[in-house]
Structure 1
Amino acid sequence: MIKVLHNDTCPICAREVAAYARQADRAGVALHVDGLEQAAEWSLTPDSAARSFRVEQDGQRHEGLEAFRLLWSHLPGWRWLARITGLPGVHWLADRVYRHAAAPVLYALHRRRQRRLDRTH
């Protein structure tokens, strides 16, 4: 079984993980998806969980690009991306793009949504 922890309050993240879940189901891959409400089960706060994508398999936890690569390697149609992002130069670049651009931007959008929600309640 592969467990996924993602920011389910992020529309982009939620759509992406829902697509992975549909593909996993069709391929017979056991996938369990957790959102921010389950962050404590991963020994994280919801805020820290919202900062990065995480996957667990066989008790091993992976974060960021490595989490994506592990998940992709089990999904038909995505294995090619797991292989390509494992190549030394591509891995280095993809990891930095995720850690220094994609994840921070998605987290900033999350914080913005949270502030908006806090003001309305």
Structure 2
Amino acid sequence: MTDDTRVLYNADCPVCSFEIDHYAKYSGDRALPIRFEDLNCIDMSDWGLSRDEAARRLYVLRNGELTSGVPAFIVLWQDMPRYRWLARIVSLPGIHWLASKAYDHVLAPLIYRWHLRRLAAATSTES
């Protein structure tokens, strides 16, 4: 385990916040050294990403290495004892390939489009 694991996520996204809030609670209850950072409330310069880039997928920074998507989930799960089995399974070549394709081409784009619709709706109600 590391003392330098940071998770960047979109707390305004109901799907993202539901999952990450669970991991944050689990980590907090066990005093795990994982920080969860809402892309809407932090200075993004540490991450080297725009808010729009960050809203497209999950990012994890551990020991100076930035990962995203399924590899980021694997890094996060490896730091949480209850989820290490999941990290091992999803790391298997065939499963990793399938999970990455599903996340990269279906889930992440779908959640991102939902994010853009929420932003557009919020902007139109402010006008």
Query: What's the TM-score once normalised by structure 1's chain length?
Result: 0.94
Verify the 8 A CA contact 1:23 1:76 in the aligned structure 2: no
**Structure 2 residue aligned with 1:99:** 104
Question: What does 1:48-59 correspond to in 2, within 5 Å?
Answer: 48-59=53-64
Question: What does 1:3-82 correspond to in 2, within 5 Å?
Answer: 3-37=6-40, 38=42, 39-82=44-87
After superposition, the C-alpha distances for 1:28-75 in whole angstroms (9 at most, x for unaligned) are 311111112323431211111100100011111111001000001111
Q: How many residues are aligned here?
A: 121
RMSD: 1.1
**Which stretches in structure 2 are left out of the alignment for 5+ residues?**
none
After superposition, the C-alpha distances for 1:13-39 in whole angstroms (9 at most, x for unaligned) are 011111101111223311111112323
4+ runs of 1 displaced by more than 3 Å? none
C-alpha separation in 2, matches of 1:8 and 1:47: 13
The one-letter amino acid paired with 1:102 is: L
